[in-house]
Amino acid sequence: MQAIQIARTGGPEQLRLLDLPTPSPGPGEVLLKLDAIGVNFIDVYFRTGLYPAELPLTPGMEGAGTVEGLGPGVASLRIGDRVAYAMVLGAYAQYAVVPSDRLVPIPDGVDATSAAAAMLQGMTAHYLTRSTFPIATGQTALVHAAAGGVGLLLVQMATQLGARVIGTTSTPQKAALATEAGAAHVINYATDDFETEVGRITEGRGVDVVYDSVGAATFDKSLASLRPRGMMVSFGNASGPVPPVSPLTLSQRGSLFLTRPSLAHYMVGRDELLWRAGDVLGSVASGSLHVRIGGTYALGEAPSAHRDLEGRASSGKLILLPS
C-alpha cells in the first residue's frame, strides 16, 4: 500500500510517500480501506515534534472508509461496513488498522469525505460547547479562527445552543463564511484589535467564554476579553504553544477559569464516543450541521495540504484522498 511516513521531524517536506506492507488486524482490530482522511493541526504537531512520538511514523488521526478485514474476536462489524474514526494514529495511508471499539457507523446519506471531515473537528466542537463550557442561551462566545475547520463547526453549534458568537478571521472572505455559519459579529484581526472590538461589542462586559485554537498570538488578549469568572478554553497551538501562566494572573483579571482540553479526554469509553460521533454525524445527515470542505488532495500531496493549513491559506476542512 501507499502511505505517508515521517522519518525525522521538521517541515512539510518530511512527509514522504512510500510503498509499505499492508497491515494485518490483530485481536479486536479491523483493517480499513480508507476513502478519505482528515488533515488536522495535530498532524502538524506530530510532524514538527511538538508532540513527541517514536519515529518513523505515519501521521493522521482521522479517517473514513470500508471494513476490509476483521481480526480475531471482532463480532460487531462485517466486511463492507462503512465506518469512521478519530484519534488513532496512522491515517495517512490507503489502509489502516483500527481498534474495533474506536469505529462508528457512517449514517446513510453521509459520504466518506464528509464523515472524515466531521469526526475529529466535529467532536471537538461538540465537547467544547456541550461539556468543557456548556453553552446556554444568552451567553456570548468569542471564537478564534472562526472560518477554520473547527471554527465553522463551533460557530454553528454555539449559535444553535443560543449563544451570540463573535468570531475572528483574517480576510473579508473568511469573515463572510463565519457570518454564514451564524456569527453575529466578525472581527478581522489583521486590521482591527480584537480585544478593543470585543469590549465595544459587549459594552465593556466581556465574553462568557473564549474558544482559542490559535495559542500564543491570541492568548493574552483573549484573557483580557473575558468577563469576570469567564472561561478561557485554549485548545490549540496554531501560532505556537502558550508560555507558562501564573495562577495569580487569573485572579487579577477577574477570577478567570483556564483549561487546556483534549478530545482524547472527552471520548472516554465507547458510550461517550457513540454519543458525540452520533450527534455530529447525525446532524450532518439531517443537514443541521454543514461541513465545509476547504480542499482535497491526493495522498502524495500531503506536504501541500500541510503548507496550506499552516499558512492559513484555506478555510474549512482539508481532506486527503488515498485512491
Q: Which domains are delineated in the chain?
A: 2-119+264-321 (3.90.180.10), 136-260 (3.40.50.720)
Q: Are strands 95-99 and 104-105 parallel, antiparallel or unpaired?
A: unpaired
Placement of cell 457513540 in the chain: 274
The rounded percent of the chain whose pLDDT value lies above 70 is 100
- Helix H, strand E, coil C: the string for 175-204 is HHHHHHHCCCEEEECCCCCHHHHHHHHCCC
Beta strands across the sheet bearing 207-212? 185-188, 164-169, 140-143, 207-212, 226-234, 257-259
Residues 194, 200, 202, 204, CA torsion sign: positive
Report pTM.
0.93
Residue 240: the pLDDT is 86
Write down the pLDDT at residue 277.
Answer: 98
Q: Which residues pair with 298 in a beta bridge?
A: 321
pLDDT greater than 90 at residue 63: yes
Q: Which cell goes with 251? A: 485572579
Mean pLDDT of the 207-226 span: 96
Residue-wise pLDDT for 270-306, tens only, equals 999 999 999 999 999 999 999 999 999 999 999 999 9
Question: What's the whole-number average pLDDT of the chain?
Answer: 96
Distance, CA of 221 to CA of 178 (rounded, Å): 21
Mean pLDDT confidence for 168-191: 96
Tens of pLDDT, residue by residue over 68-81, are 999 999 999 999 99
Mean pLDDT in residue range 40-58: 94
- Predicted confidence (pLDDT) per residue in 106-138, tens digit: 999 999 999 999 999 999 999 999 999 999 999
How far is 12 from 262, CA to CA, in rounded Å?
Answer: 24
Maximum Cα interatomic distance, the chain, rounded to a whole number of Å: 61
Closest C-alpha among 129, 125, 186 to residue 152: 125
